[in-house]
Amino acid sequence: MKAKIRALLGCGPSLTERICNSRAQLYRIALSWSADPMLADDLVQDTLNMAIEKQASLRDPEKLQAWIYRILYRNWMQHLRRHKHHEEWDDSYSTGQDSTARHVREDEICNAVRQAVAALPESQRAVISLVDLQGMSYAEVAEVLEVPMGTVMSRLSRGRKALCATLKKFKENGSQADDQPVRFRRVK
């Protein structure tokens, strides 16, 4: 009801509401970077708290997404500096034990992709998750990571090639029961 009244009056959601509404997207990115649901939740919570506290420093409300992703990325980098290691993906994250053969196959593929992404260097993993998972443009990713757009494109290219090579090995090792090729959906 409040949203309809705001729309009629020409008022959009407040900046704090817009920040809070980005939680799901932030969590998805944090999970792709960390491969740990609890750590991802902590990163998102820290990011949201920091964004709400510092919302007065946002110069252009139209660039809220880039600004908040930059905060998330900085929190992630700070975490990595503090811990100086990457944790391995825990197989307990896969879905149910008594799945049908198709579900087991899907779980196997998902785990292989997660492991392949987790094995990428952090710089490539960040770019791949922002471009391919979040659907951000190269320019937006360059702004979030504070690197030139050419660097974003080269990291994305190298990351995708590494993923393809890793997943090709996965298929060649007989882990893929069917003969369907591994395909990636390109999102620019």
Mean pLDDT of the 124-143 span: 89
Read off the pLDDT band of 58 (50, 70, 90): confident
Are 11 and 32 contacting, i.e. CB atoms less than 8 angstroms apart?
A: no
Are 76 and 30 contacting, i.e. CB atoms less than 8 angstroms apart?
A: yes
* CATH code of domain 14-90: 1.10.1740.10
| Cα–Cα nearest to 22, from 59, 79, 70, 80 | 70
Residue scoring higher pLDDT (67 or 102)? 67
Read off the pLDDT band of 138 (50, 70, 90): very high
Tell how many helices (H) and how many strands (E) occur in the chain.
9, 0
> What CA–CA distances, in Å, run from 53 to 18, 70, 75?
14, 15, 15
Q: In which residue ranges of the chain is CATH 1.10.1740.10 found? A: 14-90
Convert the pLDDT of each residue in 40-54 to its tens digit.
999 999 999 999 899
Q: In which residue ranges of the chain is CATH 1.10.10.10 found? A: 98-176
CATH assignment of 98-176, given 1.10.760.10, 3.60.21.10, 2.40.10.480, 1.10.10.10? 1.10.10.10
